Chains A and B, each alone.
Chain A
Amino acid sequence: MDNREKIATLLTGVTGVPVPTANDTIYIKAEHLNVGYANEVVVADISFELGPGKALALIGTNGSGKSTLLKTIVGLLPPMEGQLLVFGMPPGNNHTRIAYLGQFHHAGFVLPLRAIDVVRMGRFPLHGLWKRMSREDDEIVLSAMHTMGIEKLADSPLLSLSGGQQQRTYLAQVLAHQADLLVLDEPTSGLDAGGRELYLHAINDELCRGASVIMATHDIKEEAALCHQVMLLARRVVAIGAPNEVLTPDALLQTFGIVIGGEQKLQVLECLHGHDNLKGFEPKKEAH
């Protein structure tokens, strides 16, 4: 049993990998894709495929190109070179099928919104300007809030919620969309242990439903282990493949960078910055 199966089993209590739908078309197909801003290429030559029921984790330091790739996939940034097809079309053409969770939220100092209003926005792409929200929509919204454990906060003003509760609200918004593709940029930032568990459950359910997920994360133990594929990024593709093949000390060292200290010890930079999750994968320090 690989890591992903272990996690899935842990979460659902059922042995075995979630079965994807019979439809095995490719949701995302990237070939020699360059992504970046304006005239600056951030990551070059990215190639991968993502099908229904599958999850891909992007792992790398801040500035490694994770967010840039995610923004390109949802159509916020144009691809610079190479080919990128999302549901068989150039990105930015499938609003009804893609849910996106950005890394930064602009919830300003005055935004009179209740938590439920934020989650309801997850249904907007399916309804456009005009179509009325039905009772079914309301049920989906409440069920998404229930999944993230915030149904009791429905009428609370967004700004009265803690950072973790707000992040749960944004995740519930993504779930309420019931999209075919979930694009998540650091989805667990600010979540407490309970929130993380609910989130892992929810993602597992989404995968079982046949949705595919692409997420940027620092969490190699749990989140990445839930994914079928992992891509290590350091302004280039360091490695891509199944988690147990890719998450090697060597590849992680290349991804997170090394520093040679006074005593010529190798240390993973990311660990110094307090990303404790890496500890289990820390390469052996070699002293000469």
Chain B
Amino acid sequence: MDVLITPFLSNSFMLQALIAGVLVSIACAIAGTFVILRGLAFIGDALAHGVLPGIAVAILAGFPGIIGAAIGATFMIGGITLITQRSRLSSDTAIGLLFIGMLSLGVVIVSRSSSFSGDLTRILFGEILGISIQSILIQLVATAVIITIAIVCARPFLLLSFDPEQAEVAGFSVRLYHNIMLFMIAITVVVSFQTVGTLLVFGLLIAPAGAGALLARRIEAMIAWAMLFGGLSMYIGLLISYHFNLAAGAAIILVAIVIFFLVFILQNIRNRRITLHQEVKHG
């Protein structure tokens, strides 16, 4: 038991990392569920990387990275919306261009910094083991906002995932609720980058919710599974990183991906058994 609990009780940085990690998991479970249901994975990915130049400028100028990330995310969403509406290009082309552009801009800006590789590593992979109480509080507020949005917009979000035309005819503006959904994803990315980094936040957005989608029959259940898998990834990832002296952010995401594939494989085996069982019964 010591191996499983003591690291968190005897080290405040481990406990803070776990608390921040669980909050991130809750936010990512909700946002990630809708990213998957609405097929917004590419936008999620682009947002996660598009915040890079914002953070880079913020770090160079000496103000909190989170403000730069928020500005970067706003620019990204605005750019995607503008290009999609004003041109005949499909949105993934627009997103792809902005995404690579923002990523390059971010790296170019960071390369001006004296501690180039250190800063870049922190931005890309996060610093969950050095998370401050202040960051946890911001994360707490953001998670509360995301939960509130998900509850208030439950019906339009469900209709939007089911069929946008139905949502519009039912009186829920597709444009409005789509933007609220993007806003929710953006908040998640912006506040999560400090924990697992911009490169890895996308994994936490997709992997637990993806595993949930394989198991759930209802959207509420999918979110609940995603929270459970996300929290579990945090806990196991932090333990592994502590005991084997490995990079924490990457360890967490690896665990999340492994959980996804375990669920995927177990479900395939189960489905095959059911099919075999039915064949035996009928055959």
Contact = CB atoms under 8 A, between A and B. Distances in A.
Contact of B161 (A96, A100, A111): A111
A129 B152 contact: yes
A112 B165 CA distance: 19
A104 to B, nearest CB: 8
Contacts of B159: 121, 124
Contacts of A273: none
Given A113-B162, A114-B218, A124-B159, A75 B169 contact: yes
A106 B39 CA distance: 11
Contacts of B166: 100, 102, 121
Nearest to B221: A112
Contacts, number: 71
Interface string A234-262: 00000000000000000000000000000
Contacts of B219: 112-113
B105 interface: no
Interface string B148-167: 00001101101101111110
A208 interface: no
A190 interface: no
A14 interface: no
A108 B37 contact: yes
B162 A118 contact: yes
A124 B154 CA distance: 11
Interface string B25-40: 0000000000011010
B170 interface: yes
A127 B162 CA distance: 18
A171 interface: no
B165 A110 contact: no
Interface string B204-226: 00000000010011110110000
Q: How large is the interface on B (under 10, 10 to 19, 20 to 34, 35 or more residues)?
A: 20 to 34
Nearest to A106: B163
A128 interface: yes
Contact of A112 (B156, B163, B170, B213): B213
Interface in A156-188: 157
Given A106-B162, A112-B222, A121-B159, A76 B37 contact: no
A102 B218 CA distance: 23
A117 interface: yes
A254 B163 CA distance: 35
A106 B169 CA distance: 15
B36 A110 contact: yes
Contact of A125 (B164, B171, B213, B222): B171
Interface in A85-113: 95-96, 98, 100, 102, 105-108, 110-113
30 contacts: A74-B169, A75-B169, A76-B168, A95-B171, A100-B165, A100-B169, A105-B163, A106-B162, A106-B164, A108-B39, A110-B36, A110-B213, A112-B213, A112-B221, A113-B162, A113-B217, A113-B218, A114-B217, A117-B218, A118-B162, A121-B158, A121-B162, A121-B170, A124-B172, A125-B170, A125-B171, A127-B155, A128-B155, A129-B153, A157-B217
Given A111-B162, A128-B171, 10 more contacts: A100-B165, A100-B166, A102-B163, A102-B166, A108-B37, A110-B37, A114-B217, A121-B170, A129-B155, A157-B217
